[in-house]
Amino acid sequence: MRVFVVGATGVLGRHTLPRLMERGHSVSAVVRRPDDVTRLRRLGVDAHRGDILDVASLREPLRDCDVALHLATAIPPRGAQMDWSRNDQIRREGTHNLLAAAQDMGVRRYVQQSITFLYGDCGELIAPEEHPLTAGRSYPSALDMEEQVRASSLEWVMLRGGSFYGPGTHREDAWRSDANQGTLALPGDGSALISLVRVEDMARAVVLASESAPAGAIYNVVDDTPVSYRELYSYVAAQMMAPEPPAGGGRVDSLGCSNAAIRRALRWEPAWPSYRSGLG
């Protein structure tokens, strides 16, 4: 197959491209910086300069592709004033552009990376894909993105990822550094659940979905073990010989998700079934 990727330079993209290529697929990519074009070309990718917000730049790189992957996002730097407008634009206008360009260029299949955060607070429930979605305060553009994909006549697939960790994500580095500094505080009483996925497992799911997911499929991509923040952060603190994390302020949604559907349909299974093996 020939696979088009936008988001090739991101954490997920960097793990997905080599996995596509080692399975014999050729990869076309649109990236924003000239040095990324050069680097990716040296790695065997047919890389082009472009931007998901510039629909014209997507067309030629999509020529002769069988699949288009939307792995782009623009999460703002952490801080008091986080500006999500660019990310909203990528989800709304970017998705619109890529769907339209893929359709124009005769691409058959479309894979949209999405987020499990859309389930909101699930309490103790382990959410399947049918769980009602909620925009909450932060995710209306992700809901709009999913709506656009659902309305497309392409053979679309959506993957709702859990929280990525593993190489390049820096997520566990941040936990470990906070644990060492004594600032790894639990959200609330720590009983909320988090659904993790190692980014390499996420990338394998993207490859499998590109190759063989049935049209109209939506899958959660999470490991086998939703875990409470209390258990997870205690584990990290123990690894670092740091004090037990205290209860902190604020709260987070409790987000335990099931991976039964993707296990069944695509025979995907996580190489890191829980944070224990995943954190080494």
Given the rule CB under 6 A, which residues bind ligand NAP? 6-13, 31-33, 51-53, 71-75, 90, 113, 115, 161, 163-164
Residue in the shown chain whose Cβ atom is closest to ligand NAP = 10
Of 21 and 74, the one with the shorter C-beta distance to ligand NAP is 74
Of 133 and 242, the one with the shorter C-beta distance to ligand NAP is 133
Of 37 and 242, the one with the shorter C-beta distance to ligand NAP is 37
Computed from CA positions of residues 107, 109, 113, 115, in that sequence, does the dihedral angle turn out positive or negative? positive
Q: How far is the CB of 231 from ligand NAP (least distance, A)?
A: 19
Of 150 and 246, the one with the shorter C-beta distance to ligand NAP is 150
Q: How far is the CB of 70 from ligand NAP (least distance, A)?
A: 7
Question: Angle formed by the axes of helices 171-181 and 229-239, to 10°?
Answer: 70
Whether 182 and 242 have beta carbons less than 8 Å apart is answered as yes
Of 2 and 171, the one with the shorter C-beta distance to ligand NAP is 171
Pairing of strands 196-198, 163-165: parallel
Whether 91 and 144 have beta carbons less than 8 Å apart is answered as yes
Of 91 and 242, the one with the shorter C-beta distance to ligand NAP is 91
Of 202 and 242, the one with the shorter C-beta distance to ligand NAP is 202
Distance CA 113, CA 130 (A): 17
Q: How far is the CB of 167 from ligand NAP (least distance, A)?
A: 12
Q: How far is the CB of 30 from ligand NAP (least distance, A)?
A: 6
Q: How far is the CB of 243 from ligand NAP (least distance, A)?
A: 27
Q: Which of 141, 10, 34 is nearest to 86 (CA)?
A: 141
Q: How many Cα atoms occupy the beta-carbon half-sphere of 3 within 13 Å?
A: 30
Q: How far is the CB of 214 from ligand NAP (least distance, A)?
A: 21
DSSP string, 144-201: HHHHHHHT-SSEEEEEEE-EEESTTT-HHHHHHHHHHHT--PBSTTS--EE-EEEHHH
Q: How far is the CB of 111 from ligand NAP (least distance, A)?
A: 11
**Tokens encoding 170:** 């820096």
Q: Which amino acid is at 109?
A: R
What is the number of other CB atoms lying within 10 angstroms of the CB of residue 13?
22
**Tokens encoding 186:** 């639990």
Q: How far is the CB of 124 from ligand NAP (least distance, A)?
A: 22
Q: Which amino acid is at 136?
A: G
Of 194 and 242, the one with the shorter C-beta distance to ligand NAP is 194
Distance CA 17, CA 11 (A): 11
